[in-house]
A and B are shown apart, each in its own frame.
Chain A
Amino acid sequence: MSDGRHRHDAPASPYLENHRTAEESAELAERTARLEDYLVEKGLVARDALDRLVELYEQDIGPMNGARVVARAWTDPSYKLRLLDDATTAIRELGFGGMQGEHMVVVENTPTVHNVVVCSLCSCYPWPVLGLPPGWYKDFAYRSRLPIEPRAVLKEFGLELADDVEVRVWDSSAEIRYLVLPERPDGSGTMTEVDLAKLVSRDSMIGVARISVETE
């Protein structure tokens, strides 16, 4: 990688290793513009709709497959064992791919242990299971403070932990990405796996929130 700043991020797909020359870039831009002009003229695309369309994709949170992983672990004890033993394989077992050499590790919350995930160097994040990272996950404040004062940071998220709960902070890297297996909420005993998956929030799988069953 020529760009050392991003070495913490595993490339999801072939990135450019040697950069294009300015001339090559100009040619590609010209080729694209020519195609666009042609398609606009033929009435096949509307120019102003194109930007809006890209924005939809840029803002798309993603598949959020992690919620289904969590719900399966809550309802199938043998799956949970496999998940804690070898998360990469167990997640793939549910048909969720795209992990491109990232090793997934699942850490389980219990009444006495609370896990929370950060990437202190940049913003490594398991997109295939968690979707797009929240804005705060990439903020310097979160990345720098969480490893030092996790309890205080979690409190700001509205999560107060008793003194006897051990807090474990997991620092992601290009090689290892973490998913928190939250505690199954009280009152969810009769719920189906599908309904359970709907309860599981992204924040709970990063470890900054608990899950509760809403009672009206």
Chain B
Amino acid sequence: MRARRAVDPEVADMTGAAELPRRSGDLVFHEPWERRAFALAVALNRDGQFEWEEFRQNLISAMELGQRKTHTRNHRRVGYYEQWLTALEQTLDDNGIIISGNRYSTD
């Protein structure tokens, strides 16, 4: 039987490059901040701050950038949630919620 899902399939069922990292179905978070970054994006989207597709496109762009970085500088592979965080900052910037990347501050 299929129970009604409590999650947004647009997020949970992404395929291709943006697909959420899973290990046999279970979501994989390597560090606590990755969970927080995941939650922030999902919560803000749920509350209508931006469209998921907007975020997804930014995520894909961030991944492409991350890949180029890896290839050209012999950099370590950039993690999925690093790119996620970059995409979230970009999306919030695009929507005027934060201003220019890292310049937001509560100080």
Contact = CB atoms under 8 A, between A and B. Distances in A.
A98 B16 CA distance: 6
Contacts, number: 152
Contacts of A44: 44, 47, 49, 97
A192 interface: no
Given A14-B77, A35-B89, A57 B27 contact: yes
B72 interface: no
Interface residues of B, number: 55
Contact of A54 (B1, B38, B63, B104): B38
B5 interface: yes
Interface of A: 6, 9, 11-20, 25, 28-29, 31-39, 41-42, 44-45, 49-51, 53-54, 56-58, 60-64, 67, 97-98, 100, 119, 122-125, 127, 130-133, 197-198, 201
Interface of B: 1-3, 5-7, 9, 11-13, 15-16, 19-28, 30-33, 35-40, 42-44, 46-47, 49, 63, 76-77, 79-82, 85, 88-89, 92, 97-98, 102, 104-106
